Amino acid sequence: MRVAKRILATLAAAATFAAPAMAQDDTVRIALVVKALGIGFFEAAAEGAQEAADELGNVEIIYTGPTDTTAEGQIEVINSLIAQGVDAIAVSANDPDALVPVLQRAMDRGITVISWDSGVAPEGRQMHLAPSSDALIGRMIIQLAADHLPDGGQVAVLSASATATNQNTWIAEMNEVMGDYPGIEVVATVYGDDLADKSYREAQGLMQSYPDLDAIIAPTSVGIVAAAQAVEDAGMIGQVNVTGLGLPSEMAGAIESGASQSFAIWNPIDLGYAATMIAYNLSQGNATAEAGGSIPMGRMGEVTLDDTMSGAMSDPFVYDASNIEQFRDIF
């Protein structure tokens, strides 16, 4: 039994060290549940959540998630958060439906539940915070091209596949607002199917077919990188500007070479910050989630909810030579 005693003592000691300072009663505990730990995008969101907590003062952030991006892993995590009686859970879901039962139980116990980034089905949360909206993205991608074409010019769109719902919606939204950009003409829309080599060839084709082309808009992270490479290889830097939606880590080279002046994508720091602010305001009764209503989110302004109880945070965030170094290591 000596061994057993020793194990018992060791475990007890380990437990004592592992136990955190017990939360005081007036501390608001907000759990930020992510798809999996160790992903740069979510680490950055946690940074934003901490920023919100520092601003609010009496908030403790519990940044947690499973090790693999599975729904069952998130359920285990959420079960233990329910058991601890946290004040709010803000989750980026691995599965919109699988998390509904466990999140409903959380809400039954009086826990505020919101989803952000990757949403949960409406019955499993009080509201969903989308990083941006289709309309904002559609306007942003043409704005990015127009910023560098004060006298107008020719632009072409390099999309993913012809059946890609996201890209088609964004391009349709872009066409809605083209009237605000006189002098800018969309000469072609081509499809690279989100394959690097096909996107590269399509970009090459655009430059050959339209010698006066001024910009390529690629609202896809695969297409934008391939197009920038094609422009660089064709020696067209300075004549054709590649823009659209991309990841800072993959686009840093194109920004440095000048093949791309700027591009956009959501900012994970702002997203984590806004989700925390919303979770705080809902759990403290400073705001209620109702269709058509709005919820304040600190420095990010307010989010307005539609009839599915979801709302968009902001315009996509613009990345250019001034901030690419800060974000290239994050995601």
Partner 1 sequence: MTTTDRHIPDRLQSPLQTRLKSWETLLLVVAVAIFIANSFASPYFLNAWNLSDATFNFTEKAMIAFAMALLIISGEIDLSVASIIALASTAMGAAVQYGAGTPELIAIGLGVGLLCGAFNGALVTGMGLPSIVVTIGTMSLFRGISYIVLGDQAYGGYPSDFAWFGRGYVWWVISFELVLFAVLAVIYAVILHKTNFGRAIYAIGNNPTGALFSGIRVARIKFILFLLTGLMSGVAAICLTSRLGSTRPSIAFGWELEIVTMVVLGGVSILGGSGSIPGVVIAAFVMGLVTFGLGLLNVPGIVMSIFIGLLLIGVIALPRLWSRMRRA
Nearer CB in complex with partner 1: 100/149: 100
State the Cα angle at 39 between 304 and 71, rounded to 5°.
Answer: 70
Q: Compute the least distance from the CB of residue 196 to partner 1, in Å.
A: 18
Nearer CB in complex with partner 1: 85/301: 85
The answer to whether 304 touches 127, Cβ cutoff 8 Å, is no
Nearer CB in complex with partner 1: 113/216: 113
Beta-carbon neighbour count of residue 36 at 10 Å?
Answer: 16
Nearer CB in complex with partner 1: 8/291: 8
> Between the CA of residue 156 and those of 71, 81, 209, 214, 217, what are the distances in Å?
40, 49, 11, 8, 6
Q: Is 201 exposed, middle or buried (0-12, 13-18, 19+ CB in 10 A)?
A: middle
Q: Compute the least distance from the CB of residue 133 to partner 1, in Å.
A: 22
For residue 59, the cross-strand partners are: 28
Q: Compute the least distance from the CB of residue 101 to partner 1, in Å.
A: 6
Nearer CB in complex with partner 1: 64/261: 64
For the chain, the straight-line distance linking the first and the last C-alpha, in angstroms and rounded, comes to 52
> Between the CA of residue 228 and those of 147, 204, 247, 249, what are the distances in Å?
18, 10, 13, 14
Say how far apart CA 278 and CA 30 lie, in whole Å: 10
Nearer CB in complex with partner 1: 67/208: 67
Catalog residues that contact partner 1 under the rule CB under 8 A.
Answer: 3-4, 7-8, 11-12, 14-16, 18-20, 22, 37-38, 62, 64-73, 75-77, 79-80, 82-85, 94-95, 97-98, 100-101
Q: Compute the least distance from the CB of residue 159 to partner 1, in Å.
A: 18
**Strand 28-33, strand 59-64: pairing:** parallel
Q: Compute the least distance from the CB of residue 10 to partner 1, in Å.
A: 9
Q: Compute the least distance from the CB of residue 326 to partner 1, in Å.
A: 25
Nearer CB in complex with partner 1: 22/150: 22
Say how far apart CA 125 and CA 247 lie, in whole Å: 29
For residue 256, the cross-strand partners are: none
Q: Compute the least distance from the CB of residue 218 to partner 1, in Å.
A: 21
